Structure 1
């Protein structure tokens, strides 16, 4: 779970910074015609001779981007972690983080979308490339700008560059709206938020240097564990002392009745979030999968914490 949610420093980079310098081949790719050559996260130039019709995606975020681009019909293989959109449940599975190379090859892909967070599989990528199948390593995005770059890269590779531009433009506009609304929240109005990554008896939360912490800062909320770094295990007594106004459960979609279980904790009955019924289960997939749904996750989180500001 930590691996999936541990995408850090999303807002620590300047969102108005200049994009990385493009090569002539990258600019050619943006035309949407084939053949195209793109530069992936490994620095490799990958030539794609024709529009892909059989794509294997080795990361759920890649899959979500392909479907958002309108190329989902070309996906013939995904990982065991893929669950969105609903169509992927019927697509052939090629394994988890350690995918089955033989299974991938049996699907006869003309494009494989790998991911920089899984470079321990670099030898397997090489094996696939050696038989002439293009493998594109998509960046492990650590900021919104890098998410945009991932969408652009995949868009160019599947011939959907204009749709990629449309998605990115929509995400930027929605992010600007969030920032504008957040700017109206004064320091005195800021709420303290406890983000629970694992339930009892192991109470884990996120501190500084994590993606959730960056999002809380973005919407002008205080991370209850913001004085700590990374992923921290708390005792129940220490967690209660943080006295949060809001509790967010990132495991909520995988545990039955998670909010009720928090409300039933006897020791938490005087915590403001519990007294005021401000415990919410959030869809962690929208945060740990750095694709188009990321902006939905930020909007939902903001509306849970400040409904009077973000639900309008």
Structure 2
């Protein structure tokens, strides 16, 4: 074979080889771009803002204990790098960096350089400036809804699952929660109308006595367990007089603030209330019954046993 012909063949072979390499590289880049796009997630938050995370966050700051409990439930303990001083569950959360209490230190949050900040709808208005500072630093901030019912908690867990690439874990958690609630609802069907108890929920003691009306978690819990909320005609968290409670005459009093049963019994005006006469005064864990996270189902179970021990124990 002539040398010039051999050179041409070799040159052509090198060109084809280079083209194949370029094609492979191009395919690899296209696949990487595709994966990057698949990892980007956009979810609308409580403000109506569309919040996007480009990939599963490696560093997360939580500004509310309920958000923190959801993150732990989804297996994101290592990714959680900042919390508030109000966070107390699980116990290991106290080892995390604290970024404030109800008043968040925006500079401290920004200094942690998180990939995602989870705020809460109850802070809208009070923390708007803090939110703006964090977002101005280029940090995605998602405000979860201020849940007042179980469906909103399920939605919140689902949204956090999407943002953190933990959708399967979130779905599993929600499924288990729904199953536990359904079990209680089934037992509630056994309660006859004549045995249905009237419940007074006290969320703060005298002299500023507050209870829970419709549109609150407690009201939904009372309905789920098959009882009647004596303040069910009121709206939200409401302050009522001692005389009004006497008039409502509950069968059971449930406190959510580590209440003192003796203090309640010794209120002069309450001596004729059925719950006082029959010593039906029970305290439940405020964190389990008030925090809109995975443990809210445990709170429901505790609440059910407090009102109907003969049905749910």
- Name the TM-score class by shorter chain: 0.7 to 0.9
Aligned residue in 1 for 2:302: 300
Question: Are residue 263 (structure 1) and residue 268 (structure 2) matched?
Answer: no
Aligned residue in 2 for 1:64: 69
Query: Radius of gyration: which is bigger?
Result: 2
Between the aligned partners of 1:163 and 1:131, the Cα distance in structure 2 is: 30
Aligned residue in 2 for 1:15: none
Between the aligned partners of 2:145 and 2:230, the Cα distance in structure 1 is: 30
Aligned residue in 1 for 2:277: 275
1:169-180 equivalences under 5 Å are 169-180=175-186
Between the aligned partners of 2:156 and 2:39, the Cα distance in structure 1 is: 20
Aligned residue in 2 for 1:237: 243
SS at structure 2 position matched to 1:184: coil
Deviation string, structure 1 residues 1-48 (Cα, Å, up to 9, x no partner)? xxxxxxxxxxxxxxxxxxxxxxxxxxxxxx9x9732121313444332
Between the aligned partners of 2:238 and 2:150, the Cα distance in structure 1 is: 25
Between the aligned partners of 1:108 and 1:298, the Cα distance in structure 2 is: 37
Q: Contact 1:40/1:138 (CA < 8 Å) preserved in 2? A: no
Between the aligned partners of 1:167 and 1:229, the Cα distance in structure 2 is: 30
Q: Contact 2:215/2:235 (CA < 8 Å) preserved in 1? A: yes
Between the aligned partners of 2:242 and 2:123, the Cα distance in structure 1 is: 34
SS at structure 2 position matched to 1:163: helix
Deviation string, structure 1 residues 230-284 (Cα, Å, up to 9, x no partner)? 33333323322322211111111xx6xx123223445434432223221111112
SS at structure 2 position matched to 1:280: strand
Aligned residue in 1 for 2:198: 192
Aligned residue in 1 for 2:56: 51
Question: Are residue 212 (structure 1) and residue 218 (structure 2) matched?
Answer: yes
Q: 1:81 to 1:170 in 2, by over 3 A?
A: same
SS at structure 1 position matched to 2:181: helix
Q: 1:143 to 1:206 in 2, by over 3 A?
A: closer
1:185 deviation in Å?
1.2
Aligned residue in 2 for 1:122: 128
Between the aligned partners of 1:127 and 1:218, the Cα distance in structure 2 is: 41
Aligned length: 276
Runs of 4+ in 1 over 4 A off after TM superposition: none
SS at structure 2 position matched to 1:209: coil
1:118 deviation in Å?
1.9
Q: Contact 2:199/2:227 (CA < 8 Å) preserved in 1? A: yes
Question: Are residue 155 (structure 1) and residue 161 (structure 2) matched?
Answer: yes
Between the aligned partners of 1:116 and 1:234, the Cα distance in structure 2 is: 26
Q: TM-score, normalised by structure 1?
A: 0.81
Between the aligned partners of 2:237 and 2:273, the Cα distance in structure 1 is: 22
1:202 aligned to 208, 212, 217, which one? 208
Between the aligned partners of 2:255 and 2:84, the Cα distance in structure 1 is: 25
Between the aligned partners of 2:114 and 2:81, the Cα distance in structure 1 is: 8
Q: Contact 1:38/1:153 (CA < 8 Å) preserved in 2? A: no
Question: Are residue 90 (structure 1) and residue 92 (structure 2) matched?
Answer: no
1:309 deviation in Å?
1.2
Q: Which runs of 5+ in 2 are unaligned?
A: 1-34
Deviation string, structure 1 residues 207-227 (Cα, Å, up to 9, x no partner)? 333331222122221112234
SS at structure 2 position matched to 1:72: coil
Higher relative contact order (CA 8 A, sep 6+): 1
Question: Are residue 222 (structure 1) and residue 228 (structure 2) matched?
Answer: yes
Q: Contact 2:148/2:215 (CA < 8 Å) preserved in 1? A: no
Aligned residue in 2 for 1:18: none
1:310 aligned to 274, 292, 312, which one? 312
Aligned residue in 2 for 1:35: 39
1:113 deviation in Å?
0.8
Aligned residue in 2 for 1:26: none
Q: Contact 1:52/1:158 (CA < 8 Å) preserved in 2? A: yes
